[in-house]
Amino acid sequence: MMDTNLLIFDSIFDTLPSGMILFEPGGAILRINQKAKEILGLDADTQPSNLKHSLPFYLSPLVALLKDSQEDIHRAEISLNLPTREEESTIGFSLKPVNAPDGQVVKILTFTDITQVLKDRLAMDKIKDELNQSKKLASIGTMIAGVAHEMNNPLTGISMSTSLIKMNLERLRKLPVTQEHPKLDDSLEKALQEVQKIARASEKAAVLVSDLLAYSKPSQVFLVPLPLKDLVADIVNALKSHPNFSQFTLQIEGETERMVLCDRVKLEQVFYNLIKNACDATDGKGTMTIFYSEHTDADGKQQVVTHVKDNGPGIDKTIINRIFDPFFTTKGHSGVGLGLSICYRTMEQHGGLLSVESVKWEGTEFKVTLPVYLEEETGKRSAAP
């Protein structure tokens, strides 16, 4: 009867969906099931006696844990470099000491490989973040559209009135100075200077309103197939000769032969914004490196990624999730905070994605992800709502 029960136990033990190992307190292995051998990269025919009462060297972190722990571990994780994987594996486990009928304490380790589960969870969290960002930008865009339209009318009036005042002041300046009004010319000059300040302020406000309208109701994009490397090389070469980038180092490492379906003007604006931001962040004296990679998305579609990486001060982790929000800026009064928001929306219009990774004081890397153009498809795509 005892032998039958033992056979049943062995059968159940070996067919468990999780790995399980029974240890003595000193670390000697009493039993190990097939799933445990599979996860840990051991041969299926391996017996506890063949392990010389210990696991292989690459499992030493696990052995150390088993020897040192004297308490129940309900749920924990450990990283192992398994021979069956090129990358580090994450093992989720629980550990429970139990008293055997003969009075001996046996440790039962139950575990499973959760590496892929963690990857899937991170990927899902990233998708949720991107979806929330898109919803946030869409709702804010709807709100500011009305505000921008309301601002447009008074700004137009201010601009017209300023032009008329300026014109009349300039006419008065041409009149001869009389003894009755010896300081008239100085007064007119000061008035003209103030009017010019009003004109510049209204022009700046008009630009802001234009940006708001562009953000809230993006214009349609006209997509045509283009070699990505040519587009990037053209804008890099153009900026290298620009005086504002004279001390800023721009370099391209490697090439891509991939074609992308894009609106050249709008995509160039995306790269210009990213490069200009890096230049500003490094006081115009930093280095930006551009390189390419490819991957396949969850739907099996090929994508090409342009990495735009700088050696600037980086972005603090407390604000990195806000940099694509409208009106968020770290440039103080010199920035409006719409540049990256518009770039993010432009990438959505292209069926792509703009993302960022950064380490404080080590630099920032933006990733411009676009679908690879494989078919004869051209035309225009409406802006995302």
Instruction: Write down the pLDDT at residue 191.
Output: 81
Q: What is the mean pLDDT of residues 8-36?
A: 77
Contact 103, 23 (CB under 8 A): no
357: pLDDT strictly greater than 50: yes
Reported as a pLDDT band with limits 50, 70 and 90, residue 383 is very low
Q: Does domain 2-113 have CATH number 3.30.450.20?
A: yes
Domain limits of the chain? 2-113, 143-216, 221-381
For 151-195, how does the pLDDT look when each residue is reduced to its tens digit (9 = 90+)?
666 777 777 788 888 787 777 777 665 555 666 677 777 888 888
The pLDDT value recorded for residue 15 is 78
pLDDT tops 80 at residue 41 = no
At the topology level of CATH, where does 221-381 sit? Answer: Heat Shock Protein 90 (3.30.565)
**Is pLDDT of 379 > 50?**
no
**Predicted confidence band at 347 (pLDDT cuts at 50, 70, 90)?**
very high
Grade residue 327 by pLDDT with cuts at 50, 70 and 90: confident
Say yes or no to pLDDT of 310 above 90. yes
> Which one is predicted more confidently, 265 or 10?
265
pLDDT band at residue 384 using 50, 70 and 90 as cut-offs: very low
Average pLDDT value for the chain: 78
Q: Is the pLDDT of residue 365 over 90?
A: yes
What is the model's pLDDT at position 382?
A: 44
pLDDT band at 311 (very low <50, low <70, confident <90, very high): very high
pTM, rounded to two decimals = 0.51
Give the residue-averaged pLDDT of 266-295: 92
pLDDT score for 338: 75
pLDDT at 354: 94
* Stretch 247-252: mean pLDDT: 94
pLDDT digits (tens, 9 = 90+) for 281-307: 899 999 999 999 998 887 788 999 999
Highest mean pLDDT among 113-122, 141-150, 360-369: 360-369
